[in-house]
Amino acid sequence: MAERLWVDADGRTWRCRLRPDVRKDETETHVVLLMESLGETRIVSCLRDEWESAAPDWAGLLARSLPEGGSRSIGSSRPRSGPASF
């Protein structure tokens, strides 16, 4: 299954496809998905069985995805300051 379409609860259509790169120690067990909708691209790693399932948990995949280029281990490049003043 190279590509699937999913419509979320808001009626937004997501195109989900396999991304070619996976960590080399996870090639047998995981896939990396590219989820695209209305100019937004998100990336998520999941178990191969989850992707190949007849009914993947689309909402769950989207909830744990990251924006393309994002990382959970890298913080913001901007220094944090106190509360914004208005």
Residue 27 has pLDDT above 80, yes or no: no
Whole-model pTM: value is: 0.70
What integer pLDDT is reported at residue 71 of this predicted model? 58
What integer pLDDT is reported at residue 38 of this predicted model? 92
Residue 20, classified by CB atoms within 10 Å of its CB into exposed (0-12), middle (13-18) or buried (19+), is exposed
* Beta pairing, strands 30-37 & 13-19: antiparallel
What integer pLDDT is reported at residue 72 of this predicted model? 53
Give me the residues paired with residue 28 across strands. Answer: none
The two most distant CA atoms of the chain are separated, in Å, by 52
The residue ranges of every structural domain in the chain are 3-67
What are the pLDDT digits (tens) for 33-80? 999 999 899 999 999 999 899 999 999 999 999 998 765 554 444 444
What integer pLDDT is reported at residue 70 of this predicted model? 64
